[in-house]
Amino acid sequence: MRTSLSAIDQIPDGGATEVEAEVQGVPESLILVREGMQVAAFLNICPHAGRRLDWAPGRFLIDKGRLVCAAHGATFERMSGECVAGPCRGQSLRAVAVEVRDGQIWLAEPHAR
């Protein structure tokens, strides 16, 4: 069964939000980021020390279009998840495959990739 995560218009363009969903049977907190009609998703786990990136549930720091971990300031390219500054520079958030269809964001089915 496909899992709907959110309506795309629930995410401000250029912003991020958090949703809870089961990914391959495991409950996870996910970061959803939006750029126009494109959406990327990542596990809400910072590669630096494993903390969540949001400073309050669903509230993320965005600086110059980049996602900033609230714990120690690691800075990530929003759509690729690559850390470009801070304590885990060169590492990346773990991407989760999603697709946008009919204004909804869906978890991509593993066999569809």
What is the residue type of 33? V
Which CB atom, from 8 or from 46, has the smaller least distance to ligand FES?
46
Q: According to CB under 6 A, which one of 87, 92, 97, 108 is a site residue for ligand FES? A: 87
For residue 43, the minimal CB distance to ligand FES (Å) is: 13
In terms of Cα–Cα distance, which of 11, 8, 22 is closest to 96?
Answer: 22
d(CA 71, CA 74): 8
Residue 57 · residue 41 · CB < 8 Å: no
Residues 3-62 that bind ligand FES (CB under 6 A): 46, 48-49, 51
Of 16-24, 29-37, 71-79, 99-107: span binding ligand FES (CB under 6 A): 71-79
**Alpha-carbon separation of residue 39 from 28, 48, 87, 102 (angstroms):** 18, 24, 26, 13
For residue 22, the minimal CB distance to ligand FES (Å) is: 24
d(CA 104, CA 99): 8
For residue 101, the minimal CB distance to ligand FES (Å) is: 32
Which CB atom, from 8 or from 74, has the smaller least distance to ligand FES?
74
